[in-house]
């Protein structure tokens, strides 16, 4: 029980710290940002930026992106859920990367990622003609 409590407290602490970092510059509004969050929060990119482009940009910068477009009631939602195991330095680096993405040219964001094995997928085509076999076949 003590370990579970400590893990939960760290997850809440990490989420609130990261939320404060993203809100500090006013760059990423947070839905219900005035409240203390639990283990997750929903950030929104500034007007003119797409959540998908920012997620792909994060891949290029070496970060696993947050869930995008969820919840559906928040426009361009970024569901940010740092785990209890993330170090303070990692949270700060993530927030710095999120800020750096807002300074990238729009074309760079729209074409990211550049160095991953798979780049942008043709999502409508993938939905119409899914490949349901392992990648190495």
How would you write the chain as a 3-class SS string? CHHHHHHHHHHHHHHHHHHHHHHHCCCCCECCCCCCCCCCEEECCCCCCCHHHHHHHHHHCCCCCCEECCCCCCCCCEEECCCCCCCHHHHHHHHHHHHHHCCCCHHHHHHCCCCCCCCCCCHHHHHHCCCCCCCCC
pTM attached to this predicted model: 0.87
Of the two residues 88 and 123, the one the predictor is more confident about is: 88
pLDDT at 118: 85
Mean pLDDT on 83-87: 95
Mean pLDDT on 69-91: 95
pLDDT at 51: 97
Mean pLDDT of the chain: 92
Q: Is the pLDDT of residue 84 over 70?
A: yes
Considering 54-68, 107-121, 123-137, the range whose residues carry the highest mean pLDDT is 54-68
């Amino acid at each position: 029980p003590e370990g579970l409590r400590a893990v939960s407290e760290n997850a809440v602490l990490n989420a609130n710290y990261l939320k404060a970092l993203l809100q500090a510059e006013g760059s990423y509004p947070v839905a219900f940002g005035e409240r203390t969050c639990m283990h997750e929060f929903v950030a929104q990119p500034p007007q003119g930026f797409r959540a998908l482009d920012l997620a792909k940009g994060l891949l290029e910068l070496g970060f696993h992106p947050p869930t995008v477009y969820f919840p559906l009631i928040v426009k361009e939602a970024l569901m940010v859920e740092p785990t209890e195991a993330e170090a303070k330095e990692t949270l700060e680096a993530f927030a710095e990367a999120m800020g750096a993405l807002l300074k990238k040219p729009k074309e760079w964001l729209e074409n990211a990622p550049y160095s991953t094995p798979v780049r942008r997928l043709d999502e409508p085509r993938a939905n119409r003609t899914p490949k349901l076999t392992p990648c190495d076949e």
